[in-house]
Amino acid sequence: MSEPVLTLTGICKSYNPGQANEVRVLQSCDLTLMPWQVTSLVAPSGSGKSTLLHIAGLLDSTDSGQLQISGRDMTRADDRLRTDFRRMELVSSTNFIICFQSSQRLKTSCCRSRRQAKRPVLPASVR
């Protein structure tokens, strides 16, 4: 059996932590996606769907929990490493695609042929 493409374990995320206006968006959220699995997140507005997708796409960090993409632990990756990993791995090799609620958010530039850009080298710890 193949390994999961994405594993989120015990993910917690809040905004304005420790303040009077703290908002707990995700509390102990678990999600596992296998290769070629198609999954839809359907829930009421404000339930944390976009926050979960931002975390899965390495666009946001978690307060706690573990995030693995193709077996690589990305839980404590800094902004630079998340950006490099997103550029090199999520887009080019794993075909991990995040579609948001509105098709209007998709830009036609994603359909154009890709130019070969100079690609950064990831540290051995996440290869």
Looking at the chain, the whole-number percentage of residues with pLDDT higher than 70 is: 69
Domain range list for the chain: 6-126
Q: Over the stretch 57-75, which tens digit does the pLDDT of each residue have?
A: 888 999 999 999 888 899 9
CATH code assigned to 6-126 = 3.40.50.300
Q: Over the stretch 14-47, which tens digit does the pLDDT of each residue have?
A: 999 899 999 999 999 999 988 888 888 888 888 8
| pLDDT, the chain, mean | 78
d(CA 20, CA 57): 29
81 contacts 112 by C-beta, under 8 angstroms = no
Token pair of 104 as six digits: 């209007």
Q: What is the pLDDT of residue 92?
A: 57
Contact partners, residue 41, CB within 8 Å, separation at least 6: 49, 52, 53
